[in-house]
Amino acid sequence: MKLENVLRQSVMMLDLKSTSKEAVIHELVMMLVEDGVLDKSNREAFESVIWEREKISSTGVGDGVAIPHGMSELISKPTVVFGKSTQGIEFNSLDGKPACLFFMIATPKNSNNDHLALLSQLSARLMNETVIQSLTQATSKQQVQDILNADVSQTVSEVDDDAPFVVAVTACATGIAHTYMAQEKLQSAAGVHHVNIKVETNGSAGVKNKLSAQDIEKAVGVIVAADIHVEMNRFAGKPLVHVPVAQAINKADSLIETIVNGNVPAYVASHQDKKESEAPKGVYQHLMNGVSHMLPFVIAGGILIAIAFMIDQIIGVPTDSLGKLGSYNELAATFNTIGGMAFGFMLPVLAGYIAMSIADRPGLVVGFVAGGLASAGGAGFLGALLGGFVSGYAMNGTKKLLEGLPTSMDGIRTVLLYPLFGVLVVGLVMTLVNYPMSALNNAMNNFLTGLSGTNAILLGLILGTMMAIDLGGPINKAAYVFGTGTLTATVSTGGSAVMAAVMAAGMVPPLGVFIATQLFKNKFTKDQQQAGLTNLILGASFITEGAIPFASSDPIPMLISFVGGSAIASALVLMSGIQVLAPHGGIFVIMLVSNPLLYIAYIAIGSVISGVLIGLLKK
């Protein structure tokens, strides 16, 4: 659901007549009636829905903006109403100032995704001071639409023509949050230092704002902030800084200063005859490249399989056929087949893209075969993980052995010799590796299945700590990958308790931030209080990275608070044996959790603990 599809000129008013909160809500609701979205006889009932939300907390978010909103079966289609008051209206806003810009979000009942999507999009735009200023000065409905439909990400930050020009690439493993937060931080820092910048993002939706050859040519330097493999050869000969994506979020100013000052070596493109050094950071990048490509298969497949179980539970399965739960009824069997097919690609994709990160395109086919053999041989997630690295390094070795062939054989070398020898070597290695890895995989699954009491609590504390200690960094990703691995072995038996614990722990830090900014407002700036509201959505969506700016500003108290809440939530989930059938989604996959209410309660407990600790420890 996109904002531009629901913000129509027919529901805009640039000269609100109201002078009170009650009056302006009435005036905005009447625009819904006049537009045919709400029947006139239901006006008072929907106003009650809006007021019920206002009782929880004022939707006056500050900076002259208010976003009253509500969901109801009385609304025929998602709509955003816009109104502007020239004199301002007292709305009990968070900053105590009158509101001038009003956005009423009205969506049909059971449209949580659309409602949150619209709220998120509006919040993102209205956090931009330029957008608020432009809306305040707008004199026509078309101007309002143009301002709100414009891309506020500001992919090219222009200062002046004579200022230095820098290009950057941001990319994280999941492409959900880190990628775009790093982009925003770099653009903001560039503006402060009077530097022009263009940022390419390698996110979940693919490559956006891709750097052209001309961009790279005129740039004084390049910043690559990435945890996964990105195209690097294009930067050959340019001064380049290559850092984890988290560093661009935490130290954007330093990166801009470093690249502009020119004390950076030129990047040397890799070649097949160049022996690459594989430092620990390289291993992590290879792993994350595999994980980022694997996640869509796991998420889509896992949720479809979960839906298959839900369908059978709704339709019903005879007691003597419970062993076929999830595939007994024809519709359930169809969903199970589709989900199983997607899920079945998980291990080949993981191994294939790890190998591709190491050995480029020739490694892809070898890694796919290794992942397939690991799956067929019972080595599971761990076997595919090992197979991906074995495939990548084996292919690099194969390329080294065949580098002496004449150039006339380049075509046959790439199409025939690389895949033939690579697949043969890796196939033989995986045949041997599968035996011990299968035993290890079975032992781990048996251990996790039998977890109870003290063991479950201890593992929960460890996983919760890992999820919160670096907020989306290598330790967090290691815990997440472990949880995803356990899901592959348990998706047919109700889901993974480890995955449920990992997800709960990852939701706590941003939710804890939200609670702290509401309970201890005197310890946060106005901007931080507004960011705290955004963290409510991020936390509910299992996007841990929303808490990073707060951790950066006051690391020790914040991280102690995050770890405390996450560890408790994770331990409680594992102790209770709560399972989940999806590896991502947060509150949006709550119906795929074995005990939804208790799960939400445990997340709430962890979040409150984290929020209170922040209030007590933060200066």
Give the catalytic positions in this structure: 69, 172
Cβ(351)–Cβ(371) below 8 Å: yes
Identify residue 331 by its one-letter amino acid code. L
Helix axes 497-519, 596-617, angle to 10 degrees: 40
**What DSSP string describes 118-135?**
HHHHHHHHHT-HHHHHHH
DSSP label of 228: S
Compute CA distances 382 → 372, 377, 433, 493, whole Å: 13, 12, 11, 20
Which one, of 533, 512, 554, lies nearest residue 63 by Cα? 533
Residue 604, both tokens: 């709430």
Neighbour-count burial for 185-214, b at 16+ CB within 10 Å, e otherwise:
bbbebbbebebbbbbbbbbeeeebeebeee
Compute CA distances 47 → 21, 28, 44, 71, whole Å: 12, 10, 5, 11
Residue 430, both tokens: 């995986």
Alpha-carbon distance 200 to 204, whole Å? 13
Alpha-carbon distance 302 to 127, whole Å? 35
Q: How many degrees, rounded to 5, is the angle at CA 280 between CA 348 and CA 244? A: 90
Q: Which residues pair with 199 in a beta bridge?
A: 168
Identify residue 470 by its one-letter amino acid code. D
Cβ(607)–Cβ(515) below 8 Å: yes
Helix (H, G, I), strand (E, B) or coil at 391: helix
Helix (H, G, I), strand (E, B) or coil at 79: strand
**What DSSP string describes 231-242?**
--GGGTTSBEEE
Helix axes 474-490, 380-401, angle to 10 degrees: 120
Q: How many degrees, rounded to 5, is the angle at CA 244 between CA 239 and CA 249? A: 95
Cβ(351)–Cβ(403) below 8 Å: no
Alpha-carbon distance 119 to 1, whole Å? 11
Which one, of 271, 155, 173, 289, lies nearest residue 212 by Cα? 155
Instruction: State the burial class of residue 252 (Cβ atoms within 10 Å of its Cβ: 0-12, 13-18, 19+).
Output: buried
Cβ(536)–Cβ(574) below 8 Å: no
* CB atoms near residue 128 (< 10 Å): 16
Alpha-carbon distance 248 to 242, whole Å? 10
Which one, of 236, 238, 241, lies nearest residue 258 by Cα? 241
CB neighbour list of residue 112: distance below 8 Å, 6 or more residues apart: 71, 588
